[in-house]
């Protein structure tokens, strides 16, 4: 069964939901604040935040050569 990743619009909590049915319009609630204002996000293994616009995979601290503009 596919696992879908959601993000709550209210508290910005990320959580995963195991799809139990093929119904695409199933009700998903935020486990944190019980809000229904959730958005499905793409969960594709390597999750890359779009911060800085760098395409370099910098893991450890000070591993990024140019991290300007993002303190
Ligand atoms: Zn929430």
More confident residue, 10 or 4: 10
- Could you tell me the distance, in angstroms and rounded to a whole number, from the CA of residue 5 to the centre of ligand 1? 13
Residue 33 has pLDDT above 70, yes or no: yes
- Could you tell me the distance, in angstroms and rounded to a whole number, from the CA of residue 56 to the centre of ligand 1? 31
- Could you tell me the distance, in angstroms and rounded to a whole number, from the CA of residue 65 to the centre of ligand 1? 35
Helix, strand, or coil (residue 4): strand
pLDDT band at residue 54 using 50, 70 and 90 as cut-offs: low
**Rg of the chain on CA atoms, in Å:** 16
Question: What was the pLDDT predicted at 61?
Answer: 66
pLDDT band at residue 42 using 50, 70 and 90 as cut-offs: confident
Residue 53 has pLDDT above 80, yes or no: no
- Could you tell me the distance, in angstroms and rounded to a whole number, from the CA of residue 52 to the centre of ligand 1? 26
Element holding 17 (H helix, E strand): strand 14-18
What is the DSSP code (8-state) at residue 46?
Answer: S
């Amino acid at each position: 069964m596919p696992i879908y990743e959601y993000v709550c619009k209210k508290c910005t909590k990320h959580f995963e939901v195991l799809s139990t049915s093929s119904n695409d319009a199933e009700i998903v609630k935020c486990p944190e604040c019980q809000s229904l204002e959730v958005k499905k996000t793409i969960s594709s293994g390597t999750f890359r935040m779009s911060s800085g616009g760098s395409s370099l995979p910098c893991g450890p601290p000070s591993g990024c050569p140019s991290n300007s503009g993002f303190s």
